[in-house]
Protein backbone atom coordinates (compact mmCIF):
# COMPACT_ATOMS: atom_id res chain seq x y z
CA UNK A 1 0.00 0.00 0.00
CA UNK A 2 1.31 3.44 -0.96
CA UNK A 3 2.03 5.68 2.04
CA UNK A 4 2.82 9.36 1.61
CA UNK A 5 6.15 10.01 3.33
CA UNK A 6 8.53 12.95 3.40
CA UNK A 7 11.48 10.57 3.18
CA UNK A 8 11.78 7.11 1.68
CA UNK A 9 11.87 4.04 3.85
CA UNK A 10 15.38 2.72 4.33
CA UNK A 11 15.97 -0.64 2.67
CA UNK A 12 18.94 -2.50 1.23
CA UNK A 13 19.58 -4.22 -2.11
CA UNK A 14 22.62 -5.29 -4.05
CA UNK A 15 22.07 -2.54 -6.63
CA UNK A 16 21.80 0.07 -3.87
CA UNK A 17 25.09 -1.22 -2.47
CA UNK A 18 26.77 -1.00 -5.90
CA UNK A 19 25.53 2.57 -6.43
CA UNK A 20 26.76 3.56 -2.97
CA UNK A 21 30.22 2.18 -3.73
CA UNK A 22 30.34 3.82 -7.15
CA UNK A 23 29.44 7.37 -6.13
CA UNK A 24 27.73 8.61 -2.97
CA UNK A 25 26.30 11.63 -4.82
CA UNK A 26 24.67 9.33 -7.34
CA UNK A 27 23.30 7.32 -4.40
CA UNK A 28 21.79 10.55 -3.00
CA UNK A 29 20.06 11.43 -6.29
CA UNK A 30 18.77 7.90 -6.81
CA UNK A 31 17.64 6.93 -3.31
CA UNK A 32 16.78 10.28 -1.66
CA UNK A 33 16.36 13.19 -4.04
CA UNK A 34 14.14 11.23 -6.45
CA UNK A 35 11.72 10.43 -3.62
CA UNK A 36 8.32 12.10 -4.14
CA UNK A 37 9.52 13.34 -7.54
CA UNK A 38 6.36 11.79 -8.98
CA UNK A 39 4.14 14.27 -7.09
CA UNK A 40 2.60 17.08 -9.11
CA UNK A 41 3.70 19.79 -6.64
CA UNK A 42 7.15 18.35 -5.79
CA UNK A 43 10.14 20.74 -5.99
CA UNK A 44 11.85 20.73 -9.41
CA UNK A 45 15.05 19.09 -8.09
CA UNK A 46 13.04 16.09 -6.89
CA UNK A 47 11.08 15.89 -10.14
CA UNK A 48 14.23 16.02 -12.24
CA UNK A 49 16.00 13.37 -10.10
CA UNK A 50 12.97 11.12 -10.50
CA UNK A 51 12.95 11.64 -14.28
CA UNK A 52 16.69 10.96 -14.59
CA UNK A 53 16.47 7.89 -12.37
CA UNK A 54 14.00 6.33 -14.80
CA UNK A 55 16.09 6.82 -17.93
CA UNK A 56 17.43 3.56 -19.38
CA UNK A 57 20.07 2.89 -21.98
CA UNK A 58 19.41 0.37 -24.76
CA UNK A 59 21.27 -2.60 -23.16
CA UNK A 60 19.45 -2.14 -19.83
CA UNK A 61 16.06 -1.67 -21.47
CA UNK A 62 16.64 -4.62 -23.77
CA UNK A 63 17.56 -6.80 -20.77
CA UNK A 64 14.39 -5.70 -18.92
CA UNK A 65 12.17 -6.39 -21.92
CA UNK A 66 13.71 -9.83 -22.49
CA UNK A 67 13.17 -10.67 -18.80
CA UNK A 68 9.51 -9.60 -19.08
CA UNK A 69 8.96 -11.64 -22.24
CA UNK A 70 10.50 -14.74 -20.61
CA UNK A 71 8.38 -14.22 -17.52
CA UNK A 72 5.24 -14.05 -19.71
CA UNK A 73 6.24 -17.24 -21.49
CA UNK A 74 6.80 -19.09 -18.21
CA UNK A 75 3.45 -17.87 -16.90
CA UNK A 76 1.81 -19.08 -20.13
CA UNK A 77 3.23 -22.56 -19.48
CA UNK A 78 2.17 -22.60 -15.85
CA UNK A 79 -1.34 -21.40 -16.72
CA UNK A 80 -1.78 -23.76 -19.68
CA UNK A 81 -2.00 -20.89 -22.19
CA UNK A 82 -0.70 -20.92 -25.81
CA UNK A 83 3.04 -20.33 -26.03
CA UNK A 84 4.90 -17.66 -27.99
CA UNK A 85 7.12 -18.80 -30.82
CA UNK A 86 10.66 -17.41 -31.02
CA UNK A 87 9.57 -14.90 -33.67
CA UNK A 88 6.63 -13.75 -31.54
CA UNK A 89 8.89 -13.19 -28.54
CA UNK A 90 11.34 -11.21 -30.66
CA UNK A 91 8.43 -9.14 -32.02
CA UNK A 92 7.16 -8.50 -28.47
CA UNK A 93 10.53 -7.15 -27.32
CA UNK A 94 11.02 -5.17 -30.53
CA UNK A 95 7.66 -3.47 -29.95
CA UNK A 96 8.85 -2.44 -26.49
CA UNK A 97 12.03 -0.94 -27.97
CA UNK A 98 10.09 0.88 -30.68
CA UNK A 99 7.69 2.32 -28.09
CA UNK A 100 10.65 3.54 -26.04
CA UNK A 101 12.05 5.26 -29.14
CA UNK A 102 8.71 6.99 -29.80
CA UNK A 103 8.39 8.01 -26.14
CA UNK A 104 11.90 9.48 -26.23
CA UNK A 105 11.33 11.50 -29.39
CA UNK A 106 7.72 12.20 -30.40
CA UNK A 107 6.18 11.87 -26.95
CA UNK A 108 8.89 13.57 -24.93
CA UNK A 109 6.39 15.99 -23.28
CA UNK A 110 4.47 12.99 -21.94
CA UNK A 111 7.69 11.49 -20.59
CA UNK A 112 8.41 14.78 -18.82
CA UNK A 113 5.08 14.48 -17.01
CA UNK A 114 5.01 10.73 -16.38
CA UNK A 115 8.58 9.43 -16.54
CA UNK A 116 7.68 6.01 -15.25
CA UNK A 117 4.85 5.39 -17.69
CA UNK A 118 6.83 6.61 -20.70
CA UNK A 119 10.42 5.61 -21.42
CA UNK A 120 13.32 7.93 -22.16
CA UNK A 121 16.39 6.38 -23.75
CA UNK A 122 19.76 7.51 -22.44
CA UNK A 123 21.22 7.57 -25.95
CA UNK A 124 18.57 10.08 -27.02
CA UNK A 125 18.45 12.21 -23.87
CA UNK A 126 22.21 12.67 -23.59
CA UNK A 127 23.42 11.75 -27.05
CA UNK A 128 22.73 12.32 -30.69
CA UNK A 129 20.18 9.54 -31.04
CA UNK A 130 20.51 5.92 -32.00
CA UNK A 131 23.24 4.99 -34.43
CA UNK A 132 22.74 2.26 -37.03
CA UNK A 133 25.44 0.25 -35.21
CA UNK A 134 23.58 0.49 -31.89
CA UNK A 135 20.35 -0.68 -33.50
CA UNK A 136 22.09 -3.56 -35.30
CA UNK A 137 23.86 -4.62 -32.06
CA UNK A 138 20.56 -4.61 -30.14
CA UNK A 139 18.89 -6.71 -32.85
CA UNK A 140 21.72 -9.28 -32.85
CA UNK A 141 21.69 -9.49 -29.06
CA UNK A 142 17.91 -9.86 -28.92
CA UNK A 143 17.87 -12.69 -31.47
CA UNK A 144 20.71 -14.54 -29.70
CA UNK A 145 19.10 -14.19 -26.26
CA UNK A 146 15.69 -15.43 -27.37
CA UNK A 147 17.17 -18.32 -29.35
CA UNK A 148 19.25 -19.40 -26.35
CA UNK A 149 16.29 -19.03 -24.01
CA UNK A 150 14.37 -21.59 -26.08
CA UNK A 151 17.38 -23.94 -25.95
CA UNK A 152 18.19 -23.27 -22.29
CA UNK A 153 18.40 -26.06 -19.74
CA UNK A 154 15.66 -24.44 -17.65
CA UNK A 155 13.19 -24.03 -20.50
CA UNK A 156 13.84 -27.56 -21.74
CA UNK A 157 13.28 -28.96 -18.25
CA UNK A 158 9.98 -27.13 -17.98
CA UNK A 159 8.82 -28.21 -21.45
CA UNK A 160 9.82 -31.80 -20.81
CA UNK A 161 7.48 -31.77 -17.86
CA UNK A 162 10.08 -32.47 -15.25
CA UNK A 163 8.19 -33.03 -12.00
CA UNK A 164 8.48 -29.63 -10.43
CA UNK A 165 7.00 -27.20 -7.93
CA UNK A 166 7.30 -23.54 -8.82
CA UNK A 167 7.82 -21.04 -6.05
CA UNK A 168 8.14 -17.70 -7.85
CA UNK A 169 8.51 -16.17 -11.20
CA UNK A 170 10.00 -12.74 -11.54
CA UNK A 171 8.95 -10.67 -8.55
CA UNK A 172 10.62 -8.47 -6.05
CA UNK A 173 11.03 -10.29 -2.78
CA UNK A 174 11.77 -8.74 0.57
CA UNK A 175 13.12 -10.19 3.76
CA UNK A 176 14.23 -8.60 6.97
CA UNK A 177 17.81 -8.65 8.21
CA UNK A 178 18.52 -6.92 11.54
CA UNK A 179 15.40 -4.78 11.17
CA UNK A 180 16.20 -3.67 7.58
CA UNK A 181 14.14 -4.72 4.56
CA UNK A 182 16.37 -6.41 2.00
CA UNK A 183 15.19 -6.65 -1.62
CA UNK A 184 16.16 -9.47 -3.95
CA UNK A 185 14.91 -9.97 -7.50
CA UNK A 186 14.38 -13.65 -8.21
CA UNK A 187 13.67 -14.58 -11.79
CA UNK A 188 12.37 -18.12 -11.36
CA UNK A 189 12.52 -20.74 -8.61
CA UNK A 190 11.38 -24.34 -8.83
CA UNK A 191 11.88 -27.59 -7.04
CA UNK A 192 13.14 -30.56 -9.01
CA UNK A 193 11.01 -33.02 -7.05
CA UNK A 194 12.89 -36.17 -8.05
CA UNK A 195 16.24 -34.74 -6.90
CA UNK A 196 14.71 -32.81 -3.97
CA UNK A 197 16.67 -29.74 -5.03
CA UNK A 198 15.52 -26.13 -5.35
CA UNK A 199 16.80 -24.37 -8.46
CA UNK A 200 17.07 -20.58 -8.51
CA UNK A 201 17.33 -19.39 -12.10
CA UNK A 202 18.92 -16.08 -12.96
CA UNK A 203 18.57 -15.06 -16.63
CA UNK A 204 21.59 -13.03 -17.71
CA UNK A 205 21.52 -10.97 -20.89
CA UNK A 206 24.98 -9.44 -20.37
CA UNK A 207 28.42 -11.01 -20.44
CA UNK A 208 29.57 -13.43 -17.74
CA UNK A 209 31.16 -11.56 -14.86
CA UNK A 210 33.01 -12.27 -11.62
CA UNK A 211 30.32 -10.30 -9.81
CA UNK A 212 27.58 -12.80 -10.71
CA UNK A 213 28.51 -15.23 -7.95
CA UNK A 214 28.30 -12.57 -5.22
CA UNK A 215 24.62 -11.88 -5.88
CA UNK A 216 23.85 -15.57 -5.60
CA UNK A 217 24.60 -15.76 -1.89
CA UNK A 218 21.75 -13.33 -1.28
CA UNK A 219 19.32 -15.62 -3.08
CA UNK A 220 20.41 -18.56 -0.95
CA UNK A 221 20.16 -16.47 2.19
CA UNK A 222 16.61 -15.45 1.23
CA UNK A 223 15.48 -19.03 0.54
CA UNK A 224 17.03 -20.46 3.67
CA UNK A 225 15.61 -17.72 5.90
CA UNK A 226 12.17 -17.19 4.41
CA UNK A 227 11.37 -20.68 3.17
CA UNK A 228 13.48 -22.74 5.55
CA UNK A 229 15.13 -24.54 2.65
CA UNK A 230 18.43 -26.15 3.69
CA UNK A 231 21.38 -24.51 1.95
CA UNK A 232 22.66 -27.84 0.64
CA UNK A 233 19.35 -28.28 -1.26
CA UNK A 234 19.69 -25.00 -3.17
CA UNK A 235 21.24 -24.86 -6.64
CA UNK A 236 21.76 -21.47 -8.23
CA UNK A 237 21.78 -21.48 -12.01
CA UNK A 238 22.93 -18.57 -14.16
CA UNK A 239 21.55 -18.90 -17.67
CA UNK A 240 23.74 -16.77 -19.96
CA UNK A 241 21.41 -16.00 -22.82
CA UNK A 242 23.94 -14.20 -24.97
CA UNK A 243 26.31 -17.16 -25.21
CA UNK A 244 23.87 -19.99 -24.46
CA UNK A 245 26.04 -21.23 -21.56
CA UNK A 246 24.87 -21.86 -18.06
CA UNK A 247 26.64 -22.22 -14.71
CA UNK A 248 25.36 -23.93 -11.59
CA UNK A 249 26.59 -23.25 -8.09
CA UNK A 250 26.15 -24.70 -4.64
CA UNK A 251 27.06 -22.07 -2.11
CA UNK A 252 28.58 -22.89 1.25
CA UNK A 253 27.48 -21.58 4.62
CA UNK A 254 30.76 -19.63 4.74
CA UNK A 255 29.92 -17.78 1.50
CA UNK A 256 26.45 -16.97 2.77
CA UNK A 257 27.80 -15.71 6.12
CA UNK A 258 30.29 -13.54 4.19
CA UNK A 259 27.44 -12.09 2.13
CA UNK A 260 25.54 -11.26 5.30
CA UNK A 261 28.63 -9.61 6.77
CA UNK A 262 29.06 -7.53 3.61
CA UNK A 263 25.42 -6.48 3.85
CA UNK A 264 25.81 -5.49 7.52
CA UNK A 265 28.92 -3.42 6.73
CA UNK A 266 27.23 -1.78 3.77
CA UNK A 267 24.16 -0.83 5.86
CA UNK A 268 26.42 0.53 8.61
CA UNK A 269 28.14 2.89 6.13
CA UNK A 270 24.86 3.96 4.50
CA UNK A 271 23.30 4.83 7.86
CA UNK A 272 26.08 7.35 8.49
CA UNK A 273 24.43 9.54 5.86
CA UNK A 274 21.20 9.91 7.81
CA UNK A 275 20.43 13.04 9.80
CA UNK A 276 17.36 11.45 11.38
CA UNK A 277 17.53 7.62 11.48
CA UNK A 278 13.87 7.25 12.49
CA UNK A 279 12.58 9.13 9.46
CA UNK A 280 15.51 8.16 7.18
CA UNK A 281 16.03 11.87 6.61
CA UNK A 282 19.36 12.28 4.79
CA UNK A 283 22.14 14.71 5.60
CA UNK A 284 22.39 17.70 3.25
CA UNK A 285 23.40 17.01 -0.34
CA UNK A 286 26.87 18.50 0.28
CA UNK A 287 27.71 15.54 2.54
CA UNK A 288 27.20 13.11 -0.35
CA UNK A 289 30.56 13.44 -2.08
CA UNK A 290 30.85 13.38 -5.86
CA UNK A 291 33.20 10.71 -7.13
CA UNK A 292 34.21 11.74 -10.64
CA UNK A 293 35.38 8.77 -12.69
CA UNK A 294 35.02 7.38 -16.18
CA UNK A 295 31.60 6.10 -15.07
CA UNK A 296 30.32 9.71 -15.07
CA UNK A 297 30.12 9.59 -18.84
CA UNK A 298 27.21 7.16 -18.64
CA UNK A 299 25.66 8.26 -15.33
CA UNK A 300 21.95 9.17 -15.50
CA UNK A 301 22.51 12.15 -13.19
CA UNK A 302 25.45 13.76 -14.95
CA UNK A 303 23.50 16.87 -15.93
CA UNK A 304 23.08 17.62 -12.22
CA UNK A 305 26.84 17.41 -11.67
CA UNK A 306 27.59 19.46 -14.77
CA UNK A 307 25.48 22.31 -13.33
CA UNK A 308 27.70 22.47 -10.19
* Chain contacts with ligand SF4 (rule: CB under 6 A): 23, 25-26, 290-292, 295-296, 299, 301-302, 305
In whole angstroms, give the CA distance from residue 51 to residue 46: 9
Helices (H), the chain: 14-22, 24-28, 44-53, 58-78, 86-104, 108-113, 122-125, 132-151, 153-159, 212-226, 253-271, 302-306
Residue 24 CB, nearest approach to ligand SF4 (Å): 8
In whole angstroms, how close is the CB of 174 to ligand SF4 at the nearest point? 27
Minimum distance from residue 99 beta carbon to ligand SF4 (Å): 27
- Cβ-based nearer residue to ligand SF4, 27 or 155: 27
Q: Provide the minimum distance between the beta carbon of 296 and ligand SF4 in the complex, in angstroms, as a whole number.
A: 3
Closer to ligand SF4 by Cβ: residue 277 or 284:
284
Q: What are phi and psi of 273, to 5 degrees?
A: -95, 15
- Give min distance, CB of 30 to ligand SF4, in A: 9
Contact 122, 111 (CB under 8 A): no
Q: Do residues 297 and 57 touch, judged by C-beta distance below 8 A?
A: no
Of the two residues 164 and 290, which places its CB atom closer to ligand SF4 in the complex?
A: 290
Radius of gyration of the chain (CA): 21
Cβ closest to ligand SF4, residue 129 vs residue 292: 292
* Nearest CB to ligand SF4, comparing residues 222 and 301: 301
Amino acid sequence: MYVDRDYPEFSWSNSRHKTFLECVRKYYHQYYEAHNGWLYDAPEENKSAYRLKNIKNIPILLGDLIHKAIDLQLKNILNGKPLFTEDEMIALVTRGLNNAYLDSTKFRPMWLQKPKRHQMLYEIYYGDGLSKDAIAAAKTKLEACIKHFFLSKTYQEILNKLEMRVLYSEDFQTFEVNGVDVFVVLDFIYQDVSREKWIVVDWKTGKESEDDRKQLALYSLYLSREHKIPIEDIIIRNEYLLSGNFQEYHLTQFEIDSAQQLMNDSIYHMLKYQEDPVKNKPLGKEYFEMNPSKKCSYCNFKEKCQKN
